[in-house]
């Protein structure tokens, strides 16, 4: 239940929409039950009046029947409109809330999760949680309220009728569903996990399809994928059988209620404790009352899946960020100076030091090259500068204030970064470039692309800057993707430009030309420059500081 209360806390801003949708659903169910019961009474009364050759007022019951039919139609339309609007609003709220929880976890915490698993939680698990309102809360709430109202209506005519109806409603709406839920609870949780595993494997296989084909492992992976798919299908079949069993039990209880109410009402009519026309009305009311319970099988089935999805979501959102933001952050003013004082870092206390006793200072517009072999901590230093991680020892100062005094978001505004691992989106070259500076003009974009020797290639494409790069940039080569990332970093207005292995995937001649153009760019823009690399192509001169990591 704690998971349910946490989800309701996330949904709290849209409580009014949720209650309105539930109210309209309740009115619709009551109107439908009332329509059937009134129709039974009206037909019986007309038949009895005809047999007794007496007249009766049929205008009022006719108007009530028409009113119930109109209310049912209008209520159904309003219920669909409001509940779906509430569902879309709740989905938006849930996605925004989850993103706000995830954003502080990147990249230090999220790096331990597979990309397919993250996608599954963000998409499929969030969609599953969306069932909480439409498939669980509304059906259960309407079933409870409608049952109480209809049992009270039967109690008005005779307490024994109400007792029988209440017993069958509890049997069909609580006892049998709870028993089946207990039986399929583990299957529901396994279904969510199997779906997540299947998506994770699919994404991993698609991302590594080239390697699988090269090493001849595609068939074995396909066999493993098919096994996972069969397991998922088997779990779905189990839940479907249980759901069918619950629907059968519900139908049986509804028909049993009809006959029991009829058998118990006949003596009351003979004893003149009940009007003859009420016999059909009460029997049909008992039968129609089970309409309120009709969505419960799907609600109970969805509950297990929703609970499992919620546990996966909260397991990730409850992770603590590596970096704690200051309560009252300082404002980072330009120009910016950077100073490290015996800086050290390691991932855990028992792990070896990645950086140890590192000291350097960097004034505005100065250049620094950080060199060393793979695994010596070059990229880790970048994470510390951008406040994605906290130093394990020593101090890192910006403008002579500890870096912990600044919020990560406000700090990163002043740094333009081209990371070692290229990140592009499945859209046009222009859209990928505008991510760094949405206000950049076409002239600025072309200048940045010329600096990295990419403009000529783009102009050769039929759609020029409107050329789509494809998923993960599949339509571009490694060198073109690298230069696209560099051009994007150049477009961002920042005090410091940070390049992580900028010449990777480039041939020596192109790498040298690109680095010379970048140096001219930062001098013209009066930016500081930090280059993290293991080769100094285009990097020479006395104006460079060199930081060699062991």
Tell me the backbone φ, ψ of residue 440, rounded to 5 degrees.
Answer: -65, 140
Q: Is the pLDDT of residue 541 over 70?
A: no
What's the CA angle centered on 440, arms 435 and 442, to 5 degrees? 115
Question: pLDDT tens for residues 478-514?
Answer: 888 888 899 998 998 888 898 888 888 778 888 888 8
pLDDT of amino acid 231: 80
Q: Do residues 184 and 301 make contact, with C-beta atoms less than 8 angstroms apart?
A: yes
C-alpha 497/C-alpha 249 separation (Å) is 69
C-alpha 83/C-alpha 138 separation (Å) is 9
Question: pLDDT tens for residues 256-312?
Answer: 888 888 888 888 888 888 888 888 888 888 888 888 888 887 787 777 778 878 888
Across all residues in the chain, what is the average pLDDT?
83
C-alpha 13/C-alpha 8 separation (Å) is 10
pLDDT of amino acid 135: 85
The two tokens of residue 257 are: 């209620």
Q: Which residues contact 424 (CB under 8 A, 6 or more apart)?
A: 432, 469, 472, 473, 481, 484, 485
Claim: this prediction has a pTM higher than 0.95: no
CA dihedral in degrees (254, 255, 259, 260; nearest 10)? Answer: -40
Q: Do residues 362 and 337 make contact, with C-beta atoms less than 8 angstroms apart?
A: yes
Question: pLDDT tens for residues 81-124?
Answer: 998 888 888 888 888 888 888 888 888 787 777 777 777 788 77
Q: Is the pLDDT of residue 207 over 70?
A: no
Number of H helices, E strands in the chain: 20, 9
**Segments making up each domain of the chain, as ranges:** 2-317, 338-548
Top CATH class of 2-317 equals mainly alpha
Q: Which residues contact 221 (CB under 8 A, 6 or more apart)?
A: 201, 205, 212
pLDDT band at 27 (very low <50, low <70, confident <90, very high): very high
* Fold of the 338-548 domain: Rossmann fold (3.40.50)
Question: Nearest to residue 124, comparing CAs of 321, 396, 309, 349?
Answer: 309
Domains 2-317 and 338-548 share a fold: no
Average the pLDDT over 73-78 and give the result.
90
Question: Nearest to residue 16, comparing CAs of 90, 76, 74, 69?
Answer: 90
pLDDT of amino acid 184: 66
C-alpha 110/C-alpha 117 separation (Å) is 10
The two tokens of residue 349 are: 């206390």
């Amino acid at each position: 239940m704690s998971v349910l209360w946490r989800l309701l806390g996330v949904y709290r801003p849209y409580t009014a929409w949720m209650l309105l949708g539930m109210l309209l659903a309740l009115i619709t169910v009551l109107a439908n039950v009332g329509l059937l019961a009134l129709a039974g009474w009206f037909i019986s009364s007309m038949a009895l009046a005809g047999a007794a050759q007496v007249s009766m007022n049929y205008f009022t019951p006719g108007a009530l029947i028409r009113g119930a039919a109109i209310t049912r139609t209008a209520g159904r339309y309003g219920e669909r409109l409001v509940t779906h609007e509430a569902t879309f609003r709740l989905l938006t709220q849930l996605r925004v809330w989850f993103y706000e929880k995830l954003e502080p976890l990147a990249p230090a915490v999220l790096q331990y999760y597979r990309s397919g698993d993250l996608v599954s939680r963000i998409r499929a698990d969030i969609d599953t949680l969306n069932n909480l309102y439409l498939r669980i809360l509304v059906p259960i709430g309407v079933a409870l309220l409608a049952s109480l109202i209809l049992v009270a209506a039967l109690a008005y005519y005779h307490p024994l009728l109400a007792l029988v109806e209440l017993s069958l409603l509890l049997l069909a709406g609580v006892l049998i569903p709870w028993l089946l839920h207990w039986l399929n609870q583990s299957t529901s949780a396994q279904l969510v996990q199997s779906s997540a595993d299947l998506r994770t494997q699919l994404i991993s296989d698609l991302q590594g399809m080239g390697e699988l084909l090269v090493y001849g492992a595609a068939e074995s992976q396909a066999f493993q994928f098919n096994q996972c798919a069969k397991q998922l299908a088997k779990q779905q079949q189990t839940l479907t059988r249980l759901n069918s069993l619950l629907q059968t039990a519900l139908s049986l209880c509804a028909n049993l209620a009809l006959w029991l109410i009829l058998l118990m009402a006949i003596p009351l009519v003979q004893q003149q404790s009940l009007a003859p026309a009420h016999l059909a009305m009460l029997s049909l009311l008992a039968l129609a009352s089970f309409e309120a319970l009709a969505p419960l099988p799907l609600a109970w089935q969805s509950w297990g899946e929703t609970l499992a999805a919620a546990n996966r979501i909260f397991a990730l959102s409850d992770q603590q960020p590596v970096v704690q933001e200051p309560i009252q952050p300082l404002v980072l003013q330009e120009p910016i100076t950077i100073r490290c004082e015996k800086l050290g870092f390691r991932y855990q206390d028992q792990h070896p030091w990645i950086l140890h006793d590192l000291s350097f200072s960097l004034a505005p517009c100065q250049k620094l090259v950080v060199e060393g072999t793979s695994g010596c901590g070059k990229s880790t230093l970048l994470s510390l500068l951008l406040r994605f991680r906290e130093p394990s020892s020593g101090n890192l100062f910006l403008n002579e204030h500890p870096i912990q005094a600044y919020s990560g978001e406000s700090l990163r505004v002043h740094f333009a970064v081209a990371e070692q691992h290229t990140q592009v989106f499945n859209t046009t070259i222009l859209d990928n470039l505008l991510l760094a500076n949405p206000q950049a003009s076409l002239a600025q974009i072309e200048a940045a692309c010329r600096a990295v020797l990419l403009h000529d290639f783009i102009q050769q494409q039929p759609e020029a800057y409107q050329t789509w790069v494809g998923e993960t940039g599949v339509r571009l080569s490694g060198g073109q993707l690298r230069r696209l990332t560099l051009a994007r970093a150049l477009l961002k207005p920042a005090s410091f430009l940070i390049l992580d292995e900028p010449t990777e995937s480039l041939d020596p001649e192109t790498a040298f030309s690109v680095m010379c153009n970048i140096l001219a760019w930062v001098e013209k823009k009066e930016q500081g420059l930090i280059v993290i690399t293991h080769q100094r192509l285009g990097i020479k001169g006395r104006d460079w500081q060199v930081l060699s990591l062991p």
